[in-house]
Structure 1
Amino acid sequence: MNALGYVHSVETFGTLDGPGIRYVIFLQGCPLRCKYCHNPDTWAFQEGRKMYSTDVVSDVLRYKNYIKTGGVTVSGGEPLLQPDFVAEILKLCHNNGIHTCIDTSGIIPVEKCKNAVDEADLLLLDIKHIDTEKCKELTGQGNENALKLLDYCQQQGKDVWIRYVLVPGLTDDKESLERTAQYLSGFSVIKKTEILPFHKMGEFKWKQLGLEYTLKDTFEPAKDSINEAKGIFARYGLV
């Protein structure tokens, strides 16, 4: 099937979205409204460029020699909002011997996106907050679907890298970090955990879109705070 989807942009030499050098496809559309989002221009679903899965992969193949140490990562926005499109892209990549990865918030119910998840070699899964009510305050929705997706990956033996954004005053308190690390330590499919320091490099986009950026007075986390968070996760075997 030659699926049609909405693409925001691509990065042909990505080094921060999975192992090795990767071709990263950022899809349009996201149901979350994370306070620290640095790509609010990806929120509106149909504002992206319409592309067929075959055309996406045709461009990927132009860079196959460069990404042979890595592969392809489909990101967003929220890529699993377009599961059929993602599944076809990953399937075509596999047909050409290319490693595949999905970078997701896990907000889409797993029963609606299994076809895409099953095609991926690796998932980069954001855990926004271990407390679902605080997750709602931070993103607009709870964490139930993300945790269910992690359960599904455990059942299927699907490799997962966890991403946790460290936001001062919101996600950096010791209790939340301990609870998160303790919870995640029970999953054998988690191969890596990345602590991502909050930054405000996307603040200008909020202004351009006429949106209120509520974290304008929030500072980036101090090095000691980052090291403390990493230490807590390391004590639970999450590195």
Structure 2
Amino acid sequence: MLLSKIEAIKTPDNILRVHSIETFGTHDGPGVRCVVFLQGCKLKCQYCHNPDTIAIEGGKAYSVDDLYEIIVKAKPYFGKNGGVTISGGEPLLQAKALIPFFKKLKADGIHTALDTNGRILNHFAMELLDELTDLVMLDIKHMTEEGYQEITGQKNKQTTFNLAEYREKSNKPMWLRYVLIPELTDKTELLESMGAYFKDYTSIERLELQPYHKLGVHKWKALGWDYPLESARENTDQELESAVAVLKPYFKQVSVN
């Protein structure tokens, strides 16, 4: 298995660079969740709705203890199924500092989820995945190398599938997430390819389809960047239903998020 050459954001072991915190999230894992968006990502996805999280520099520095105190205050709202989701950016860039943070959450009985693009699988990421992450939500960008490079601006789509394989071997829960862009990622042959690739995975509990939207366009413009999918349109209800129908035979559950 190839490991990513990307090691980590260089910060002290007990410091996390945080872009923002959502204290009542309902679309990033099971139940009601506190969603922590970390700063920094090595991809520049064409549809990214949080492009201000891409830069490695920036964000606000939180100690593990200070961030934990914020989470504890929200714990009464988690109920039976909720918990904490770490998103981004790409959270595995800060896997080393996430280890002590997740240890504190787990000691307090708080469910942990990680929303990742799968680019990083170093020993810090492995420790985080093996021992401390209850749920991995893995973003599948594209099923072909050409499509992956077009969408993300980076090479080697296999990094994502390496992480999926690693998680599958652990037999711990995983969700897949896939952005459905008309004429770009919603082609039937791509959906069939994804289904065929993952059909025998027992760790995958569900596939979440993410309808395409332009809610982040103003952020691209605020950064002075051209938005690459300016001409793309949103999905029709029929297109979403058709995608679900194609994928349902392959997965335990397919939902539109």
TM-score interval, smaller chain: over 0.9
1:230 aligns with 2:244: yes
**1:38 match: secondary structure:** coil
- The size of the alignment, in residue pairs, is 239
Equivalent runs, 1:31-50 vs 2, <5 Å: 31-50=42-61
From 147, 150, 155, the equivalent of 1:137 is 150
Partner of 1:63: 74
**2:232 match: secondary structure:** coil
Unaligned runs of 5+ in 2: 1-11
Partner of 1:179: 193
From 189, 203, 207, the equivalent of 2:221 is 207
Tell me how far 1:112 sits from its aligned partner.
5.0
RMSD of equivalent CA atoms = 1.3
- Contact kept? 1:11, 1:25, Cα under 8 Å: yes
Give the aligned residue type for 2:143. I
**1:65 match: secondary structure:** helix
**1:47 match: secondary structure:** coil
Equivalent runs, 1:1-239 vs 2, <5 Å: 3-69=14-80, 70-111=82-123, 113-118=125-130, 119-141=132-154, 142-239=156-253
Give the aligned residue type for 1:123. V
Matched-pair identity in %: 41
Which moves more between the two structures, 161-170 or 140-149? Answer: 140-149
Give the aligned residue type for 2:103. K
TM-score w.r.t. the length of structure 1 is 0.96
Structure 2 distance, partners of 1:6, 1:115, is: 20
Unaligned runs of 5+ in 1: none
Tell me how far 1:133 sits from its aligned partner.
2.0
Structure 2 distance, partners of 1:223, 1:238, is: 22
Q: 1:112 to 1:92 in 2, by over 3 A?
A: closer
Which moves more between the two structures, 228-237 or 34-43? Answer: 228-237
TM-score w.r.t. the length of structure 2 is 0.90
Map Cα deviations across residues 123-159 of structure 1 (whole Å, 9 max, x no partner).
0100011112211111112321110001001111121
- Contact kept? 2:38, 2:53, Cα under 8 Å: yes
Map Cα deviations across residues 69-116 of structure 1 (whole Å, 9 max, x no partner).
300000000000100122222111001010000000111135451122
- Contact kept? 2:204, 2:251, Cα under 8 Å: no
Q: 1:204 to 1:226 in 2, by over 3 A?
A: same
Structure 2 distance, partners of 1:4, 1:86, is: 9
Tell me how far 1:181 sits from its aligned partner.
1.0
Q: 1:139 to 1:15 in 2, by over 3 A?
A: same
- Contact kept? 1:130, 1:180, Cα under 8 Å: yes
